[in-house]
Structure 1
Amino acid sequence: MAQLPSPGCSPAELEARLRLHRMPALGPHRFNVLIQAFGSASAALSAPAGAWYSLGIPAASTESRRSPQVREGAAAALAWLERRDQHLLMWDDPAYPALLAEVDAAPPLLFVAGDPALLEKPQLAIIGSRRASRPALDTAAAFSRRLARGGFVITSGLALGVDGAAHQAALDVEGHTIGVLGTGLQKFYPQRHRALATAMIERGSAVVSEFPLDAGPVAGNFPRRNRIISGLSLGVLVVEASLASGSLITARLAAEQGREVYAIPGSIHHPGAKGCHQLIRDGALLVESVEQIMETLQGWQRLPPAIGGETTGTRHVLEELLLAAPQTCEALANSSGWPLPRVLAALTELEVAGRVCNEAGRWFARPA
């Protein structure tokens, strides 16, 4: 995308951009065409309709320029921006994330609820099925915890399944996470994750959208959302996905954007593994540990030990208990004195690290 005007636009120019942004059939490309042709959004709105038509702008956009709904929507957005932790990043703003600015048809406007500075920090996207299996949810959470503890921001789409597990796991270890919506920030979808989104904002993370604040869930908007998830990130990890999954769209976009694509393999008998296997055949990196991801991201800070502070000698305390005898999760909670959620979290990380395994409901320590 060509560069827009210099930052620090006037209140009138900001209102004009918000009006352009709301016009039907006026996506990022046409938005930029108008700015480049007329020099500013204010000048574009004042130009005659014929000038718009000559640029290939459709009638639906041209005829809505003075629509009361467009004006009212822009006014509502300006009011929204006056509230705490609510921001707007414009493509020509120095605070606009540099990686996203490289993307074809980068969003000219990006609404942010929470901390906008996170968008410039190193991010890794974790995505996958909305109807993920329990092992996939556990794997997504384990990878998210490790990466978040290592200083990476976890980016995903706030969907059900893998997305939600990745966001929540990052919060659980006091890390940061960014949710990218396919709706406006005032028309949150899915509703089941509204509390999660609120927690993210309150705890220093962020929720973002390129769509007008009151934009509802339209199917075509979710693929557009996916280019932002990949565009913000250094790489994209697909945990579980069918061949029809939207995660494959995000992975394809990531590859086109020059980002790393990682995929978790699964059983050949599980439909949810077929998308990841297809990605691996197409060139995605098969990963079984966070370290394999880190090997491809030379130059970024090294991760701390997976479970530091919980070891006795060279082994984790749960490994020591399992060396004595295989146990269930509940038995480990009793023998260690830990809450069950903490036991489950530690076991997941140990399993991802290849240090324990589960067979028929009981956990075993692997030989050192």
Structure 2
Amino acid sequence: MEDKKYWIWLSSLPGVGNKSCLNLIRHFGSAENVYKCSYSELKAPGIISEQAAKTVSLHRNLENANEYLRIVKENGIKVYTILENEYPENLKNIYDPPPVLHVKGELLPGDSLAIGMVGSRKASDYGLKTAKRIALRLAELGITIVSGMALGIDSAAHRGALSANGRTIAVFACGLKHVYPMTNYQLSQDIQKCGALISEYPFDREAYAQQFPARNRIISGMSLGVIVVEAGEKSGSLITADFALEQGREVFAVPGNISSPNSKGTNTLIKNGAKLVSNLEDILEELNINIIYEEKKNTNNYEKSDISEEEKRILAFLIKSEGDKDEIVAATELHPGKVMAALTKLEIKGLIQQIGGNYLLI
């Protein structure tokens, strides 16, 4: 593998964007070869502007790049170029992938089975609970949850994955030296243990408004699909949905109250063709990953002799969708008293759990 100092040098030059950086490397064969090119060689192919060619040719100092690599290593940050196996495979195939990624924690090959989750920072209680439940269920099936660690839906999605001991990845809109928002510092520490914090930005870059939309393309780019849980009319989450469509990813939306400002964006997405999410199967079927779901159901082995008929009827309902006591009573047509007794036994047996009044499979 080529020395990363050349990648750091080239990707940090002002006026040389991601696309120009990668075009130069493809044309000349390596970042080191770009470093050695003369001004006339750089501008001859016509793949970068004359001004960018001047910038590259006039800034041939590797001292800053070497010092930068030393600093990030001291801070426990790994740097991966787009040519390395550790770089997320899904992200390599988008229109403008970052040439370099900074990572705290660990990226795994299995993270290619990922779903992005985004939504309102000022989410309702309904939105927060829904995001956490969906993330928890997906993480239980081995699906990595990707989000932006913002307040609201993002944080709920990360926490849902963590509560299932699953994997989750937070994409930063600043350098990894900073945690934004700072109130999520402990969450960032927890994510590192069960996933990764990643950023395309230099280690010490602060959070600027224009970096958040760019961050969103990475959330969708790393994912097979994006779920928008709750979003207002002008929510930044809709930018992520747009990126997902451009990248050929599936877009899902959780319906909400038609009179709620927080649901205007998600309801509009559904109106315009996004897949409506009412249960886990809606997501798995659309992404053709039902085999995982079937394997999970089989491992639970609900046909054991110590499970009563009432419990089996409840489990048959919960396989398809989580629900509260009243929904379970209506679906199973069992007496409310028998339902409550069966739910208690299933919790004791470790087959179901209750979150926010809803029961779901473990």
Q: One fold, TM greater than 0.5?
A: yes
Conservation of the 8 A alpha-carbon contact between 1:144 and 1:154: yes
**Aligned counterparts of 1:247 and 1:141: Cα–Cα separation in 2:** 17
The amino acid across from 1:207 in the alignment is L
Name the one with the larger helix percent. Answer: 2
1:193: which partner in 2? 184
Work out which of the residue numbers 280, 284, 293 in structure 2 matches 1:290: 280
Closer/same/farther in 2, CA of residues 259 and 51 from structure 1, 3 Å limit? same
1:168-202 alpha-carbon deviations (Å, 9 max, x no partner): 11111111101111111112211111211111112
Q: TM-score if structure 2 supplies the norm length?
A: 0.80
What is the Cα deviation at residue 103 of structure 1? Answer: 0.3
**Aligned counterparts of 1:200 and 1:35: Cα–Cα separation in 2:** 33
Work out which of the residue numbers 208, 226, 229 in structure 1 matches 2:216: 226
The amino acid across from 2:126 in the alignment is P
**Aligned counterparts of 1:74 and 1:251: Cα–Cα separation in 2:** 38
1:365: which partner in 2? none
1:24-46 alpha-carbon deviations (Å, 9 max, x no partner): 23221111132234333233234
Work out which of the residue numbers 336, 341, 351 in structure 2 matches 1:323: 336
Conservation of the 8 A alpha-carbon contact between 2:142 and 2:166: yes
Q: For 2:226, what is the secondary structure of its paired residue?
A: strand
Is 1:75 aligned to 2:88, yes or no?
no
2:321: which partner in 1? none
What is the Cα deviation at residue 285 of structure 1? Answer: 0.6
The amino acid across from 1:125 in the alignment is G
What is the Cα deviation at residue 292 of structure 1? Answer: 1.0
1:252: which partner in 2? 242
Q: Matched residues, percent identical?
A: 34
For structure 2, the 5+ residue unaligned runs are 319-323, 330-334
Is 1:156 aligned to 2:147, yes or no?
yes
Alignment of 1:21-60 (within 5 A): 21-49=11-39, 52=42, 55-56=48-49, 58=51
**Aligned counterparts of 1:301 and 1:129: Cα–Cα separation in 2:** 31
Q: For 2:139, what is the secondary structure of its paired residue?
A: helix
What is the Cα deviation at residue 65 of structure 1? Answer: 5.3
Greater Cα offset, 207-216 or 38-47? 38-47
Q: For 1:178, what is the secondary structure of its paired residue?
A: strand
Is 1:130 aligned to 2:121, yes or no?
yes
Q: For 2:292, what is the secondary structure of its paired residue?
A: coil
Closer/same/farther in 2, CA of residues 73 and 195 from structure 1, 3 Å limit? farther
Closer/same/farther in 2, CA of residues 162 and 106 from structure 1, 3 Å limit? same
**Aligned counterparts of 1:22 and 1:119: Cα–Cα separation in 2:** 30
Conservation of the 8 A alpha-carbon contact between 2:117 and 2:146: yes
Note the aligned Cα RMSD (angstroms).
3.4
2:160: which partner in 1? 169
Work out which of the residue numbers 333, 358, 362 in structure 2 matches 1:348: 358
Q: TM-score if structure 1 supplies the norm length?
A: 0.78
**Aligned counterparts of 1:110 and 1:299: Cα–Cα separation in 2:** 28
What is the Cα deviation at residue 60 of structure 1? Answer: 10
Is 1:269 aligned to 2:259, yes or no?
yes
1:363: which partner in 2? none
Q: For 1:253, what is the secondary structure of its paired residue?
A: helix
**Aligned counterparts of 2:182 and 2:50: Cα–Cα separation in 1:** 35
Conservation of the 8 A alpha-carbon contact between 1:123 and 1:233: yes
Work out which of the residue numbers 172, 180, 197 in structure 2 matches 1:207: 197
For structure 1, the 5+ residue unaligned runs are 1-7, 354-368
Number of residue pairs aligned between Structure 1 and Structure 2 = 328
What is the Cα deviation at residue 264 of structure 1? Answer: 0.6
What is the Cα deviation at residue 282 of structure 1? Answer: 1.7
Q: List structure 1 runs of 4+ shifted beyond 6 angstroms.
A: 308-312
**Aligned counterparts of 2:86 and 2:161: Cα–Cα separation in 1:** 24
Conservation of the 8 A alpha-carbon contact between 1:280 and 1:286: yes
The amino acid across from 2:197 in the alignment is V
